[in-house]
Structure 1
Amino acid sequence: MAIVQTIRKFNRTYTQRIGVLDESYLGTGRPLNVSRLLFEIGQSSGTTLRELRERLDLDSGYLTRLVSRLEREGLVQVTPDASDKRRRAVNLTEPGRAAVAELDDRSEKLASRLAEPLTPRQRQRLEEALATADLLVRASTVHLREVDPDDPAGHAALRRYYSELGQRFPTGFNPGTSAPEPGAHYVVATSDGESVAYGGIRPINAGGRKPAAEIKRMWVHPEWRGAGLGARMLRHLESLARSHGFTRIVLDTNSTLTEAIALYERAGYRRMERYNDNPYAELFFEKRLPART
């Protein structure tokens, strides 16, 4: 595949240019893996080892060894988390904060040197290309998993979803009318420990001879729209519905959610008559699902 060779070539070129292979990354005296972890610790006060492991997708033993090195160098301090003694929080020391500031400064200067020979138009093209590549690569590595209604990652996504609906609906939105439904299944998509998409299905009688699966609370983080994550979540929910024996799937939406409407129509959904009394629903869609083989 041409895309595979393009990615591999870019990886070789970029890693060489930014000094990934150097034992002392940017002249800091530490390799890239240790420097990257130090930078990540500096992004949020009181982050835990578990959060770092999930955010960076690192093996527990490997992460512990890296943190231990930073601890021996006096750059971080590991203590029991005040809210949960079973967890360990990692914080920068004063020398650690100075090291992060130095790393940040050297990284900025490296990026400036790479861009300096380019014309303004070339810089704009590079910025747009890198932003697109970053979004698409992150979207391709997003993890989708089924969760319980009270799952913390799911709750984080729902809070963002409800907040956005409140801003976009002319009459606002009352999440109190959206309690978990019996028989529902929920899916959350996460990237680097952050909830970036959410959706669910539930059984419902919607005018057919058999119960249909209804898609509920489908949401994609605004920064992730345009990367195909919405279509991926939709396909995942359809597959989940099929696995539970449904041959028809329905959904409702509001006319202000134009990007969602376009997504449903591209995926083969067709408009149908109203099937519920949801005060926020203005448009209704259905789709036939292929039978399980």
Structure 2
Amino acid sequence: MSDNDFERRVGFVRRFNRFWTRQIGVLREGYLESPFSLTEVRVLYELAHCDETTASELGEELGLDAGYLSRILRGFEKQGLIHKRPSEADGRRRLLRLTERGQEAFAPLDARSRDDVGAMLGGMSIERQEHLVGAMRTIEGLLSARPEPEVPYILRLHRPGDMGWVVHRHGVLYAREYGWDERFEALVAEIVAQFIQQYDPKLERCWIAEREGEIVGCVFLVRESEEIAKLRLLLVEPKARGLGIGSRLVEECVRFARQAGYRKITLWTNDVLDAARGIYERVGFRLVHGEPHHSFGHDLVGQTWELML
């Protein structure tokens, strides 16, 4: 990584920070057209969303200097916005909560914030809204020291536009993770084009995994012969791995193949794809053949796996 590349990224993050602070209005005097600063509103938010807490817990949650937070809390106390009481478990600790007046002060701020965000999202299509939320989640996950909360995923059938994603992400991820060249991307493009042109919904399927509106995985089951189905193009995005999505996609293939009357599922993979091979093994596939080959710019060992239904 060159110094120039790093400085470019630093500059982009700083530019985004300037854009976002202007976008959400934190540069204006009085956040949300209130007499409070952004930090004061955030402290009110935390107090409004818990029964009771302590100054030290607030400071840790918000990353605030103890002296600065103490001055904010003293100001709130003088205005009658918060109430302090000794902890019954430890008299040295002071528990904080919003008073009724504090709740009344916070409520219009919360409503105004919701309205502002709603107005921003309201000018976008649902697709752009989901894209924005997904990008924000990515930023939060990359910068947060806390583990990202588990978000449920769904499996659905393919729809227009999905095949472009399948080709693109296979090309990008296999180049990044294994160094495969564009000939692999060409192979994927051929497979999905053939699938679309010959698609028989009674005997074939493409499942797309989605998480918060963002595609995070895929798999195909196609007709090889009257009794044999072929599993192809299993992929899970790096940020969605470890959630069981890969296993679930393969299990859906097995379930559908049985329902469609197939007697066997076969698949072709390569020995370097350890995670995928682990999934196939757990589901019940067995390795029946291996053969060296040179493809996609590398010496590989192709493997054929089968599952009797």
Larger radius of gyration: 2
TM-score by length of 1: 0.48
TM-score by length of 2: 0.46
